[in-house]
Amino acid sequence: MQDLCGKLSGSAQQLCYQYVGAAKEDAWDAAAAWRRTSPESFACSGIEVECLQEDMLSSKVGSACRPLAEGAQCELGKHCSSGYCRGQRTPSTDDNSSHKQQQQGGEDEGAAAPRSLLAQMVQPVAAWPTATVSVSSGSSARRVPEAFLSTSHEYNRIHDYGDERNVASWAEVFKMLSPSPIIRVGGASQDKMTQVPDDATWKALKLLQQKTNARFILGLPLWPKNAIAMGKQIIAASKKYLGNSVIVYELGNEPEFWPTGLGGYDAKGKWKPGIDAYAKWFDVVARQVNPCNHREDPKFLSGPGWGNVNTQPTSWLARVLYTGKDCYLAETNIHYYPYIDNTTVTPKQLLSQSLQDFGLSKYGEYQRLVEKEKLGVRISETNSLYGGGKVNMSDTLIGGLWVADALFAFARAGAKGFHLHWGIGGHPTGDLGQPNTGVQTNFYYKYKNATYEFKQLQALRVDASKLEKPVPWPSVHAPWYGYLFWTIAAAGKYNSKSDATFVNTKVEDKGKCGANMKVWALRADNGDLRIALINKDDVINCNMKLWIDDKRFCRTASISKLLPGQAGIKSKGNITWQGQTYENAGFTGKIQGSTVVMQIESKQYPKVGKCGFEVPVPASSAALLVAKKATK
């Protein structure tokens, strides 16, 4: 059977290897998936009732089935050719082109082999290309901030998270990220507000804080002429309801996108356009809401909140930085969205290394400027694409893999925080949820002892406005699995602070795996070496050969997997991380199933004087290898 697998290509090859590696009942799933997805190759597999039953009763790796010989008849008028059952067609035309069209169209559910089989893979696959990366376990690069992964939300519906009827479910979500998650509240809603948030909003935030031990970053308006008065009111209300849980206040949001353009008010209250007017107005408002009359006065402001790190010159940040660094600025903040048209972008373009490198190079300019003044840069708003993201891309595993890789990249680059923006979360009508939201806010109404969504009530001709207000509940979307992957890599477990430092890696040989195979390595405070392997390619499977310079890490290691659903990289559901999922979580916000972590054997590489591991990483998936450091 191994020989047959070597002849095949694409998903057919992957399915063949999954069958060979399956044990007991899983052989049934593997055979069924293979027959359904690639009938031309399955017809030459030789899998019949008797040998399939034998495989299902065996715990051994391999198969009792014997593939049909080259040229053997597989169907009436067709014969096996290079592992495929064909008639007059040649092995390199119709089938291969058909497979490519299915991949491009996103309809080939065989692009990812069955999850139950991928989950068992811990040994490299001979037919896959191999990349080699060396890991310097003793080196030290950037320290991961203790709550680097954070979220961002608009003021409009922030109260939904603190609804007393279901705040426990939202607490389940936020507490996965940290024992004290940082929640940014702001965005476009802060500058367009005409009055400060009401008491109901503050009470909801207070309840959420009590249930999650959250810390907050609150946005203050800058565009309105009465920004000073409203800013002071928001600060006073936050101290009343949230005590010391607010770590910083952001002054203004994306000023270059204001309806009036960038600018500010002069001493006579007249609007003036341009960066000079903006910088002066920022300073005027900042000194009023955060006075610095005495050296001991605390600094608690952040700015300027440019709309995108990719588009604004660093000199603009410098204008704000040098005026406020000794008075009111506790940190600086900017936003980051990939610099690409979100109406035409393809998955390959979004996940390309060149696009990420461009953003990192622009970010690096800000980082170097701010480091000179010993202040941090927080990416207080970000996500896979601007404008809420793109349907069927941001809301799939494409978005999840983007999130995971971006977290590593910007933490390594030195950002103080990385706040993934969820917008308003969702709306009772079922509209306005962003595709790139990690956990969308859905709502249910209670009607006749049952629960209904708004559109279901419409179909029943029930007036939802006459019912009790709907209950907001957390609906986990595909990007959230990227959040969880990062959390375990950076903190070792959920509801924990990040406890790791980046160590250096070097690509020794990328083979044919391509630039979208990423490796990030972290050394935990307890000595563990955590190596994240992310395959952002939607077609190319890859074996990762890891060379580690310290043999004490080559005794015991485990591996966890982030796996797609049957739609591969375009999966919206049936995604698993460490064997767990949010399918069938209902309204609870709780991850479902038992954690699956497998052991992996180390290998020796005497020619280079190192030890390490070889890990298969299928297309559209990720893996986390954790190597324990032996004490003797």
Cα–Cα dist 548/557, whole Å: 12
Q: CB 168: neighbour CB atoms within 10 A?
A: 12
- Segment 162-183 shows an average pLDDT of 98
- Segment 405-415 shows an average pLDDT of 98
Residues 154 and 127 in one domain: no
User: Is 475 in a helix, a strand, or coil?
Assistant: strand
State both tokens at 43. Answer: 């017809």
pLDDT bin (cut points 50, 70, 90) of residue 410 is very high
Determine what percent of the chain is predicted with pLDDT higher than 90: 76
The C-alpha torsion from 267 through 272 and 276 to 278, rounded to 10°, is 80
Contact 590, 176 (CB under 8 A): no
Cα–Cα dist 167/135, whole Å: 43
Burial class (CB in 10 A: 0-12, 13-18, 19+), 197: buried
State both tokens at 553. Answer: 């890490």
pLDDT bin (cut points 50, 70, 90) of residue 122 is confident
Cα–Cα dist 571/564, whole Å: 6
Answer whether residue 462 is part of any domain. no
Q: What stretch of H or E contains 151? A: strand 149-153
Answer whether residue 469 is part of any domain. no
Residue 110, pLDDT score: 35
The count of residues in the chain is: 632
Task: Residue 571: give its domain's CATH number.
Answer: 2.60.40.1180
Cα–Cα dist 387/312, whole Å: 18
Residue 28, pLDDT score: 64
Burial class (CB in 10 A: 0-12, 13-18, 19+), 198: exposed
- Reported as a single tens digit per residue, the pLDDT across 458-468 is 999 999 999 99
Q: CB 1: neighbour CB atoms within 10 A?
A: 20
pLDDT bin (cut points 50, 70, 90) of residue 119 is low
Q: In this predicted model, which residue has the larger pLDDT, 20 or 617? A: 617
Residue 60, pLDDT score: 75
Residues 175 and 278 in one domain: yes
Residues 235 and 263 in one domain: yes
Residue 627, pLDDT score: 97
Residue 117, pLDDT score: 58
Residues 156 and 135 in one domain: no
Residues 315 and 340 in one domain: yes
- Reported as a single tens digit per residue, the pLDDT across 247-268 is 999 999 999 999 899 999 999 9
pLDDT bin (cut points 50, 70, 90) of residue 26 is confident
**Does residue 432 register a pLDDT over 90?**
no
**Does residue 107 register a pLDDT over 60?**
no
Cα–Cα dist 375/355, whole Å: 27
- Segment 544-565 shows an average pLDDT of 94
Residues 136 and 197 in one domain: no
Q: How does 117-139 read in b/e, with b if 16+ C-beta sit within 10 Å?
A: bbbbbbebbebbebbbbbbbbee
Per DSSP, the residues of 558-589 read: EEEEEE-BTTBTT-SSS-EETTBB-TT-TTS-
Residues 330 and 357 in one domain: yes
Residues 398 and 308 in one domain: yes
Query: Of 415, 432, 449, which residue sits at a domain end?
Result: 432
Answer whether residue 406 is part of any domain. yes
Cα–Cα dist 632/630, whole Å: 6
- Reported as a single tens digit per residue, the pLDDT across 296-340 is 889 999 999 999 998 888 999 999 999 999 999 999 999 999 999
Contact 140, 522 (CB under 8 A): no
**Does residue 97 register a pLDDT over 50?**
no
Domain interval for residue 240:
149-432
Answer whether residue 73 is part of any domain. yes
Residues 78 and 222 in one domain: no
Residue 556, pLDDT score: 82
Look at 11-20, 55-64, 609-618 and tell me which has the smallest mean pLDDT.
55-64
Look at 67-81, 217-231, 569-583 and tell me which has the smallest mean pLDDT.
67-81
Answer whether residue 449 is part of any domain. no
Nearest Cα to 482, choosing from 558, 567, 398? 398
- Segment 166-189 shows an average pLDDT of 97
Determine what percent of the chain is predicted with pLDDT higher than 70: 94
> For all residues of the chain together, what is the average pLDDT?
90
Answer whether residue 461 is part of any domain. no
Query: Of 390, 409, 432, which residue sits at a domain end?
Result: 432
**Does residue 105 register a pLDDT over 50?**
no
Query: Of 432, 449, 480, which residue sits at a domain end?
Result: 432
- Averaging pLDDT over each range in 17-31, 54-68, 365-379, which range is the top one? 365-379
Answer whether residue 352 is part of any domain. yes
Task: Residue 373: give its domain's CATH number.
Answer: 3.20.20.80
Contact 46, 67 (CB under 8 A): yes
User: What letter would DSSP give residue 159?
Assistant: G
Cα–Cα dist 500/385, whole Å: 28
Answer whether residue 480 is part of any domain. no
Residue 179, pLDDT score: 98
The total of structural domains in the chain comes to 3
Cα–Cα dist 18/12, whole Å: 10
Residues 320 and 265 in one domain: yes
Cα–Cα dist 547/503, whole Å: 13
Nearest Cα to 581, choosing from 503, 502, 478? 478
**Does residue 90 register a pLDDT over 50?**
no
pLDDT bin (cut points 50, 70, 90) of residue 430 is confident
Residues 272 and 204 in one domain: yes
Residues 386 and 312 in one domain: yes
